[in-house]
Amino acid sequence: MTAPRVRFAPSPTGYLHVGGARTALFNWLYARRTGGVFVLRIEDTDKERSTDAHTQVILDGLSWLGITWDEGPYFQGACADRHRTDAEWLLAAGHAYKDFLTSDELDAERAKAKALGAPFRYERAKCDLPAAERARREAAGLPYTVRFAMPQEEIAWDDAVHGRISWQGSDLDDFIILRSDGSAIYNMAVVSDDIAMRITHVIRGDDHISNTPKQIALYQALGHEPPVFAHVPMILGTDGKKLSKRRAAAAVGDYQDLGILPAAMRNFLALLGWSPGGNEEIIPQTEMIARFSLEHIQKKAAVFDPIKLEWMNGQYLSLLPVVELLDPVQRQLEMLGVSTGRDLAPLIDAVKARSRTVTHIAEQIAVRLDATRIVRDAKAEQLIAKLGDRFAVNLKLAHESLAACDAVNWHAAFLEGILKQLAESFGAKLGDVMQPIRIALTGGTVSEPVPELLTAVGRDESLTRIAGAIPG
RNA sequence: GGCGCUAUCGUCUAGAGGCCUAGGACACAGCCCUCUCAAGGCUGGUACACGGGUUCGACUCCCGUUAGCGCUACCA
């Protein structure tokens, strides 16, 4: 048996949708698992909507996810001649025929059927022109489309995820394969390309299930064995509807901007509709490849849960060494407009345990670097009210003790000693000493342990912030 | 309307006739840890859409119902 050849074939008509990304991931995983070849083909035949910029976004998105292609990108538009040649071969072989009906006439037929409440289907016997008129149009050199003569028999296949799926050819139209301008229609182009690229496994979204019998019929007419088909389920939004840009981030690039790590995104996407069979959630890439199989792909559509993605990202974040976060955090800080002159490593180290995304890390660092970003939150106000006079008193005492600490001793272990001693010396609860400092330094009630926070912000800046926070 | 696909906790899923009084994860609640939060540990609630078969036995097989989705273009 020769190595499988799979392909991902997006249309460059927009951003890289997470559903498309997952389809690409499954293809890639399958190729890597089986030692096969992953082909990237850009289906840019819709000239109206396809752009180079969109193509680039798709390429960037795949690269970001670590999905690498072995061949391509091929452009479907460049293969137009072959598509036409294949369609014309079908015509010559009697598997297709010319249809001289104009699109206006076709529309009229459709409208008529609709008025009668009957479903419209193109049937050659009923729709074709009378022989004389047909001959006249042909002789006059009028434009025509080429329709595929759908065989009136059962068309079935064993889908790798759904099992056997069967259609009756009689339920299918004689669909157009060549437009009147001579260009091929989607189903024709896909089959022509998949044959030319010797694709053995077509792994794609299950919205293509109903295209499959048409394509199989085309393979058979063309004298080629159809590939294995694997139709993977759709990805839905939290509302159970199709994931749309309006409701949630639907593009891979959005998650990149949100500070999601590619490894986390890949892991999350892989588990949306596929499962290795056990209880694991965090699955390293090598293991993912080793365990991937088409049989374990879910038949049912899956809801994309951004909360779980964030959780997973947090898991990856905690495993990631600080050095690897330097660049991503730097980029996010630049996007936030924070100028960074100092080593970010200790700052990242201080906040990353409490962060689920790179963006969240950057936001916290921004506050530690730039006092103007401090915002008193509701929890802080509540706590201040609850502490009453003690807020100002404890802050003042803390300021005195901390000011006595010189720069050389300004590190977490020493500062912790100072603060614990302070609390003990006048019988205050440790929290009543710590929390006011935390509020003074960040505006909030949540952060890394206060001694570490003081270190992250630095001695002089910390003292300034504490002094500034003392009421009165 | 026609044809097709699907149906386990709120969500992602495990489950290939007895291992299931249905397991894990996210989320949620409580407890522990603790200056706060996160992480971690422990505990808890919540699911086999419905109805018929088949079988000694059905979450698992078959049929029907219902619901959701897809396609039904000279779009891809």
Asked if residue A405 lies in contact with residue A459, where contact means CB atoms within 8 angstroms, the answer is yes
Cα angle value A226/A227/A230 (rounded, 5°) = 125
* CA atoms of A172 and A216, how far apart (whole Å): 12
In this structure, the strands spanning A176-178 and A145-148 are antiparallel
**From the Cβ of A361, is strand B under 7 Å away?**
no
Distance, Å, A128 CA → B1 C1': 24
Whether A372 CB is under 7 Å from strand B: no
Residue A360 has what pLDDT? 95
With the C-alpha atoms ordered A416, A420, A425, A429, is the resulting torsion angle positive or negative? positive
pLDDT at A344: 93
The 10 Å Cβ neighbour count of residue A352 is 22
Q: How confident is the model at residue A124 (pLDDT cuts 50, 70, 90)?
A: confident
A317 — alpha (psi -120 to 50), left (phi > 0) or beta?
alpha
Instruction: Pick A148 or A117 by higher pLDDT.
Output: A148
pLDDT > 70 in chain A, percent:
98
Q: Would you say residue A246 has pLDDT above 70? A: no
Query: Which residue is closest, via its CA, to the C1' of B10?
Result: A238
Residue A163 has pLDDT above 70, yes or no: yes
State mean pLDDT over A103-107: 83
pLDDT at A126: 66
Q: What angle do CA A77, A83, A89 make, to 5 degrees?
A: 165
Residue type, A156: A
**d(CA A89, C1' B46) / Å:** 60
Q: What is the mean pLDDT of residues A79-91?
A: 96
C-alpha dihedral sign at A131, A133, A137, A140: positive
In this complex, the nucleotide whose C1' atom is nearest to the CA atom of residue A383 is: B36
Q: Residue ranges of the domains in chain A?
A: 1-69+233-319, 81-155+164-178, 320-370, 374-472
| Closest-lying nucleotide for A295 based on CA to C1' | B16
- Interatomic distance A279 CA / B22 C1' (Å): 15
Q: A245 pLDDT exceeds 70?
A: no
The C-alpha atoms of residue A417 and residue A324 are separated, in whole angstroms, by 32
> Between 3.40.50.620, 3.20.20.60, 1.20.1050.10, 3.90.1150.10, what CATH number should domain A1-69+233-319 receive?
3.40.50.620
What value does the mean pLDDT take over residues A372-399? 92
**A263 or A102, higher pLDDT:** A263
Tokens of A280: 């694991």
State whether the beta carbon of A272 lies below 7 angstroms from any atom of strand B.
Answer: yes
User: Read out DSSP for A393-411?
Assistant: HHHHHHHHHHHTS-GGG-S
Which nucleotide's C1' atom has the smallest distance to the CA of A119?
B1
Find the Å distance, CA of residue A449 to C1' of nucleotide B33.
Answer: 14
Q: b vs e for A39-54, b when ≥16 Cβ sit within 10 Å of the residue's Cβ?
A: bbbbbbbeeeebeeeb
**Whole-angstrom Cα distance, residue A75 to residue A11?**
10
**Token pair listed for A71:** 């061949």
Residue A418 φ/ψ, nearest 5 degrees: -55, -50
> What does the angle CA A56 – CA A59 – CA A65 come to, to the nearest 5 degrees?
140
A137 Cβ contacts chain B strand, under 7 Å: no
Q: How many CB atoms lie within 10 A of CB A138?
A: 13
Which tens digits make up the pLDDT trace of A229-244? 999 999 998 887 887 6
Q: Residue A275 CB closer than 7 angstroms to strand B?
A: yes
ipTM over 0.90: yes
Minimum-distance residue to B68 (CA–C1'): A240
**pLDDT at residue A132, rounded to an integer:** 83
Residue A94 CA and nucleotide B29 C1' are separated, in Å, by 70
Which residues in chain A, range 388-427, keep a C-beta under 7 Å from any nucleic strand B atom? Answer: 416
Distance A338 CA to B35 C1' (A): 29
Rounded alpha-carbon distances, angstroms, from residue A124 to A139, A167, A222? 20, 19, 21
Interatomic CA distance for residues A148 and A94, integer angstroms:
9
Please report, for residues A5, A72, A198, A201, A234, the alpha-carbon distance to residue A39 in angstroms, rounded to integers and kept in the order given: 7, 6, 10, 11, 22
Statement: the CB of A253 is under 7 Å from strand B = no
CB half-sphere exposure, A187, CA atoms < 13 A: 21
Distance from C-alpha of A13 to C-alpha of A9, rounded to nearest angstrom? 12
Query: In this structure, is the CB of residue A124 within 7 Å of any atom belonging to strand B?
Result: no
Cβ atoms of A177 and A185 closer than 8 Å: yes
Residue A72 — very low, low, confident or very high, per pLDDT cuts 50/70/90?
A: confident
Q: Which nucleotides of B are covered by protein (CB under 7 A)?
A: 1-8, 10-16, 23-27, 35-40, 68-76
- Type of residue found at A330: Q
Tokens of A49: 């909507």
In the predicted structure, residue A362 carries a pLDDT above the cut 70 = yes
- What does the alpha-carbon distance between residue A12 and residue A46 come to, in Å, rounded to a whole number? 9
Strand B contacted by A12 CB (< 7 A): no
A94 touches strand B (CB under 7 A): no
| Nearest partner of A146 among A201, A89, A64, judged by Cα | A89
Closest listed residue to residue A7, CA positions, set A164, A230, A214, A173: A230
Q: pLDDT, tens digit, for every residue of A264-317?
A: 999 999 999 999 988 889 999 999 999 999 999 999 999 999 999 999 999 999
Q: How far is CA A215 from the centre of its chain?
A: 28
Q: Percentage of chain A surpassing pLDDT 90?
A: 75
Q: How far is the CA of A164 from the C1' of B22 (A)?
A: 28
Q: Which nucleotide is nearest to A279 (CA to C1')?
A: B24
Average pLDDT, chain A: 91
The answer to which of A104-118, A143-157, A249-263, A434-448 has the lowest mean pLDDT is A104-118
* Contact between the CB of A176 and strand B at under 7 Å: yes
Q: Which CATH class is domain A81-155+164-178?
A: alpha beta
A448 touches strand B (CB under 7 A): yes
Put the strands of the sheet holding A145-148 in their side by side order.
A96-99, A145-148, A176-178
CATH class assigned to A374-472:
mainly alpha
C-beta within 7 A of nucleic chain B, residues 287-346 of A:
295-296, 298-303, 305, 307-308, 311, 314-315, 318
Q: Calculate the alpha carbon distances from A148 to A175, A177, A226 in Å.
A: 6, 6, 17
Distance A173 CA to B61 C1' (A): 35
Pick from A198, A205, A199: nearest CA to A159: A205
pLDDT at A211: 96
